Structure formats: structure tokens, C-alpha cells
Structure 1
Amino acid sequence: MNAKRSKKKVVAAMADIHIKMGDRGKMREIFEEVSDHADVLVICGDLTDTGDEDEAKILADDLRYLQIPVLGVLGNHDYEKGRQKMIKQILTENNMTILDGEAKVVADIGFAGVKGFGGGFDQYMLSVFGEDMMKSFVHEVVNESLQLERALTRLDQEHPEIPKIALLHYAPIKETVAGEPEVLFPFLGSSRLAEPLNRGKVVAAFHGHAHAGTLEGATTEGIPVFNVALPVLKKSKIDCCYYLMDV
């Protein structure tokens, strides 16, 4: 039987750091600072700006200044050039865990992550109907939701005693994209991503992607959801470039 957790842990979360070719050293001070305040850091996608592996190498160099574990998911910008596998490999080789339907326990917390996808929210969710291209669009978020569900289920089965956190890039609820033009909502996330959060009873979910969105919201079952895109954190007057949460 596993021992009980001795104390709460602190999770730092950010997203949409969009590392560019001229950004060498940009994250160094931030990583040094967050190491003093948190037990683990999560970065929810758009790690690079144009999906270039050289941008990933610049981020990898700055990761050396991080003294705590770091996990994350890829975002749509990381897929731009079709080099997402190379980006994942570069960051993995530099001690960052990239989750893509996987689960991992760090600091006595279970993390499950997927990129997610669009599709709209609530009664305006797109359905699997019509042309093949429309069906493919909807199937993408359905598959992402299923991957998240499986990862959370594995955590439940193998580590039922620890809290679970979900990492996404796309939003699982409408509330945290509020502030963006409503015509963009179908491309910013999907309520299908909230279903695994509710069933898995996660303690929180973090995402990014919606730069003009809102920091906090909750699923229909009361699961806290946080949009930690850097522009949102700055707009919300967060002290630095990360959100801190006790777990």
C-alpha cells in the first residue's frame, strides 16, 4: 500500500511561450525563478513559434537552468512545419517530458496530457456529419479526448491515491476562451475535451492557445480550468509568467 502524501506540492503552469530564433536566453531567469517557487513546471503547448527544431534547441538550452521537473504538451505552432517528432525528441533529450496521450507521476501528482483540438463548445459543438473533411475534423478532437480519457484511467488504476492534473493546448470549456472573437471559438477548443476531466475527477486542467481568453473557468462538474497562455497571465496581472497552484 502506498504511503500518504506528506504535504502539498506547488505546480507552476504556463503556455504559449513561442520561442523564436532570437530568443536565446529569454527563459533563463524565468526558469531560475520558478525553480524557487514550485515543485514542478508544466508548459501547455506552443513551445516554439514556427515549429522549427532550431527553436526547440534554443528552449532546450534554457531548460538547463530549471531545477525542477518539467512536463508539457505540444501546440498547433509546434506542428506548423511537420517537425513535431523532432521537437519532441530534442526536448525529451533535455529532460522535458512531452505528453501525447501518456500519463506520468511527478512530485506525487499524476499528469495526463494531449494537444487537443477544436470543434466548438456546448450546443454549438460540431457533429460527425456531412462531408468527409468535416467528419475528419471532428474525429480529431474525439481521438484526442479518448487519449486523454485513457491516460487518466491509467492513473486511476495505477495510482488511485494521488491527485490528477490534465494538460492540454486547446481549451476544454468556453469560459476560458471568452475575450476571443466568438467566430473563432470552434478553432480554440471543444467541450469534448471536458468529458474526460469530469469523469476522471481531476483537481485541475491547464491549457493555452486562446491568447485573448480568460484565466479561470470550470467544467459543468466544477473542475477548475486555467488558461495559462502568457498573454492571459500578463493581462490578469499575474506576478510573473507562470501561474502557481497548490495541489
Structure 2
Amino acid sequence: MEENQQTITRIACVGDIHVQENDQGKWRDYFKQASAAADILMLCGDLTDTGHLVEAEVLAEELKGCTIPVVAVLGNHDYERGEQRQIKKILEHAGVHVLDGESVVINNIGFAGVKGFGGGFDRFMLSMFGEKMFKDFVQEAVDESLKLDRALQHLEGNYGDIPKIVLLHYAPIKATIEGEPPEIFPFMGSSRLVEPINRRQVLAAFHGHAHVGTLEGKTSAGVPVFNVAKPILNRAGLPGFFIFEVGKVPEMTVNHEA
């Protein structure tokens, strides 16, 4: 047998599943299908519909149909009731790696995740100026970008040049929210998230949030970005999730959280 045999790891990616209180039994077959199609499942926020704890409990129960590792970030809907910490704990108790400025390594692939935030894109990005409420809005996007950078730095410092994947809920580029009304672009994501993605040589980034966006785009440095909000995947005729393949991955499996 050849040394360092090349393998392919398949990642099933989806966001905005919006699990509701009455969804018992609705998702278990879906997660079984993802387990059969992929090696890792990645959930890009808005896991619950209204941020209610019972919705998170339903999701945790449905995830028993999933037999592969699950990596996730929360979305704005998961923050709706201010119970995001409890939601995170419920999902972690179910075995989900919920990332909020942390990283995890699975199958020698590094995953770094944050929710992200709004603020606009490119030359229309909001600046730190004016009333305190505007400064606070911009600061939230800055803080999310810094958290992402620290998570990616952790992967680089501890694992070298392994492939790095970024999970977000909010978009890091404008291209993948095209189709949404331009008036709400500042609330769909922020270019501030792009800087660590470009500088840390990320393999690909994934987000949700924009239900009427575009599936694929690229950062200014050419990093692929995918909007995997479930409504977009449904319109694209995909089976409820997007499969991203990572090649040339050693057979070893390591798990470590920042």
C-alpha cells in the first residue's frame, strides 16, 4: 500500500433549516441521507426558527439520525430570544461542535466558525463614525472578524497547513447575496469577514442567511464562498444539502477544539 494514500472527505453543507417545535420526526431521514452522502455535516446557522429552547431540543433529537460528525454556527434566529448560550449547550450535549470563535479539526481538516454580522460590503461598508449605536453596530462586525482570525490562527499554529474551512451565518462577500433587495445588503453580511479568510489562506467559506441569494462566489483573493441557505439549495435542485469535497487528506483523524 502506498504511503500517504490520498482520500477525499465529503462535507454536506446547509444553513437556515429553521427547525420548529412541531418538527418531531421531520428531519431524521434528512440527517440519515446526509450521513450516507458525506463524511461531515456542516450547519451554517438559523438552526432554530425562533430561538426557542424547545426547537433546539427537537433538533438535538432529530440529529440522532446523523452518524457523522456535525459542525455548526448559530444564526440570528438562534439569538432571537437571547437564549443562544443554552441552545449551544443543548446542541453540544447532542455531540455537535458549535463554533463561536473556536476551531475544530476533523479528518485533518480545520473548521473555524463565527456567526458573523452585518455592516455592508466593499466601498459601501459602514465605518466607525457617528452616533454610538452606529459605532456599536460596526464594532460587532469587527469583533466577529477578530474572533474568526483568532480561530484560524489557532489552526495554523497547531496544525500547520492543513485545509481550513470557514463557517459563517452572515455573508462575507456581496456576490452570494445577489438577488436579495439591495436595500437590505448592509444587514446580510460584512466585508470585514473577508480579511482573515483571504490572509489565512482558507480553502473555502460557507454561509447562509440570504434565502434569495446566489449559491457561489469568490473573495478578492479567489477563495470560493458558498451560500448554502436551504431555500437556495432547494431552488438549485440539490438534495437538501451541498456536497463539498476536500481531497488529498491524510487518513488520520484528529479532534481538537480551541
TM-score by length of 2: 0.93
1:201 pairs with 2:201: yes
- Amino acid in the other structure paired with 1:93: H
Residue 64 (structure 1) aligns with: 64
Aligned length: 244
The DSSP-based 3-state class of the residue aligned with 1:133 is helix
Alpha-carbon distance change, 22 to 97 in structure 1, aligned in 2, over 3 angstroms: same
Corresponding residue for residue 106 of structure 2:
106
Deviation track 1:4-52 (CA, whole Å, cap 9, x = no partner) reads: 5741211110000000111111111111111111110000000000000
Contact 1:5 1:108 in 2 (8 A): no
Q: CA deviation at 1:108?
A: 1.4
What SS does the aligned partner of 2:111 have?
strand
Is 1:32 matched with 2:32?
yes
1:120 corresponds to which letter in structure 2? G
Rounded to whole Å, the distance in 2 between the matches of 1:208 and 1:128 is: 26
Structure 1 runs of 4+ aligned residues shifted over 4 Å read: none
Per-residue displacement from partner, 1:71-128 (whole Å, max 9, x unpaired)? 1000000000000011000000000110000010012110000000000000000000
Cα distance, 1:141–1:4 mapped onto 2, change above 3 Å = farther
In the TM superposition, residue 237 of structure 1 has moved relative to its aligned partner by: 1.6
Aligned equivalent of 1:143: 143
Cα distance in 1 for partners of 2:54, 2:5 equals: 40
**Secondary structure at the residue paired with 2:8?**
coil
Residue in structure 2 matched with residue 165 of structure 1 by the alignment: 165
2:244 matched to which residue of 1? 245
Write the deviation string for residues 166-219 of structure 1: whole angstroms up to 9, x where unpaired. 000000000000000000000000011111110111110000000000000000
Q: 1:184 to 1:108 in 2, by over 3 A?
A: same
User: Which structure's relative contact order is higher, taking Cα pairs within 8 Å and 6+ residues apart?
Assistant: 2
Per-residue CA distance 1:55-74 (angstroms, 9 max, x = gap): 00000001111010001000
Aligned mates of 1:71, 1:100 — CA distance in 2: 11
Match of 1:93 in 2: 93
Could you list the per-position Cα deviations for residues 106-162 of structure 1 after superposition, in whole angstroms to 9, with x for gaps in the alignment? 121100000000000000000000100000000000000000001001101111131
Amino acid of the residue matched to residue 56 of structure 1? Answer: A
Write the distance in 1 (CA, Å) between the matches of 2:36 and 2:50.
30
Q: Can you give the 5+ residue segments of structure 2 that lack an aligned partner in the other structure?
A: 247-258
